[in-house]
């Protein structure tokens, strides 16, 4: 691989520009992980107002430590009891610091 550290600390070069990733690491350069249940969602408010957007942040974690993630590994949905009562807009991939931004909104 070129450069020699192409696969980073969590991968092994197996042929030119191709990596085999260790453990839970994935991606072309072994720099991504799938977030687990230790991830967190933080919202700007503690109340939901019908028709008003609520901006939230998704902090991807793996084993209770921050991790790099991609939308290939993320799927955010409203709870089934809220189905039809609201919507998610934006992308959990829009980065703001170490978090991913999205907006939830309730229907009128």
> What spatial distance separates the first Cα and last Cα of the chain, rounded to whole Å?
55
Q: How far apart are CA 27 and CA 36, in angstroms?
A: 17
Indicate the length of the chain as a whole number: 108
- Could you tell me which of 68, 71, 87 has the C-alpha nearest to residue 29? 68
In the predicted model, what is the mean pLDDT of residues 63-84?
75
Is 91:102 a contact under the CB 8 Å cutoff? yes
Confidence of residue 1 (pLDDT cuts 50, 70, 90): confident
- The pTM of the full predicted model, rounded to 2 decimals, is 0.61
pLDDT tens for residues 24-67? 898 899 998 888 889 888 888 777 777 777 777 778 888 998 88
Is pLDDT of 79 > 70?
yes
- Whether the CB-CB separation of 104 and 88 falls below 8 Å is answered with yes
Encoded tokens for 90: 């934006």
């Amino acid at each position: 691989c070129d450069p020699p550290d192409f696969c980073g600390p969590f991968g092994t070069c197996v042929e030119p520009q191709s990596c085999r990733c260790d453990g839970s690491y994935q991606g072309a350069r072994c720099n991504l992980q799938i977030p687990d249940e230790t991830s967190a969602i933080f919202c700007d408010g503690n109340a939901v107002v019908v028709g008003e957007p609520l901006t939230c942040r998704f902090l991807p974690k793996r084993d209770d430590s921050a991790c790099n993630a991609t939308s290939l590994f993320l799927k955010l949905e409203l709870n089934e009891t809220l189905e039809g009562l609201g919507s998610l807009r934006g992308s959990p991939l829009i980065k703001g610091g170490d978090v991913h931004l999205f907006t939830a909104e309730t229907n009128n």
